[in-house]
Amino acid sequence: MRQMDKAFLEISNICNLQCSFCHGTKREKRSLTKEEFELLTDRLSGQVKYLYFHLMGEPLLHPLLPCFIERAWAKGFRPMITTNGTLLGQKGEEVLKKPPYKISISLHAPAANAVFAAKHYLDDCIAFARAAAAKGCIVALRLWNLESADEQSNASVLKQLHTAFPGEWGQIRGGSSLRLAPRLFLEWGKRFDWPDLNAPEHPADTDVFCYGLRDQIGILSDGTVVPCCLDADGHLALGNLFSTALQDIL
């Protein structure tokens, strides 16, 4: 079996936000135990290069995240974290004891949740981003809400970021990223809509493409293997990695 580029290993499907852009999941709430993480990563070892610690859920809610990052490194993976950033002020220091290869912080998430629209949130994200980059971790600050109702919140976010990282900035439209500091980037893009089985079909002339099973797979917190990171409810279940080797599933 050829090596895939990445696997999305859902260490928990629990989140502390309910974002308008997120599909969410109807599955039973569940988080991996240490033993389950060891088993799943053993079965992924040598099969994938980048190990993302989410499919659904907020990784920083898992109390064993620092341990999982360290174990992923030890097994030859490049651990990747995507977070809404709301817990970085509380848990960021623990995460950086053994930093992941890359961490992406979705700054557009709190814009969809007014309760988190506080200045200290962005202060915490900036402080963490600086510390993580200084430790060799790649950091991406994401604004994936262009051409949506939430974009109106970007002005205050960009102003605070520009104060923290002064210099000549290009327009946040052309291209897709801006280097703010060594290993620290601002990324932006249009709001992403999750696939929905109940949504209308795409017009025939619409370009649609999926990387599922080409360079990625997903593993839900109950061990279910799915083709890609967008199958939030396991509609295309291929097998279960708790009971079956990956080679036999694929």
Q: pLDDT means per 10 residues in the chain (250 residues)?
A: 84 83 80 98 95 94 98 98 94 96 84 60 93 98 66 74 83 72 87 56 52 76 85 82 91
Helix residue ranges per DSSP H, 18-87: 34-44, 65-74
The residues that bridge with 225 in the sheet, in sequence order, are: 219, 239
Among residues 99, 101, 59, the alpha carbon closest in space to that of 80 is found at 101
Question: CB neighbours of 238 closer than 8 A, spacing ≥ 6?
Answer: 224, 225, 226, 227, 249, 250
- C-alpha 167 chain-centroid distance: 28
| CA dist., res. 123 & res. 163, Å (int) | 11
pLDDT value at position 215?
75
| CA dist., res. 176 & res. 187, Å (int) | 6
Q: Model pTM?
A: 0.85
Q: CB–CB of 247/44 below 8 Å?
A: no
Which helix (H) or strand (E) element contains residue 103? strand 102-106
pLDDT value at position 184?
96
Q: Which domains does the chain have, with CATH numbers?
A: 4-17+30-249 (3.20.20.70)
pLDDT value at position 72?
98
Question: Is 58 strand, coil or helix?
Answer: coil
pLDDT value at position 233?
75
Which helix (H) or strand (E) element contains residue 79? strand 78-83
pLDDT value at position 217?
92
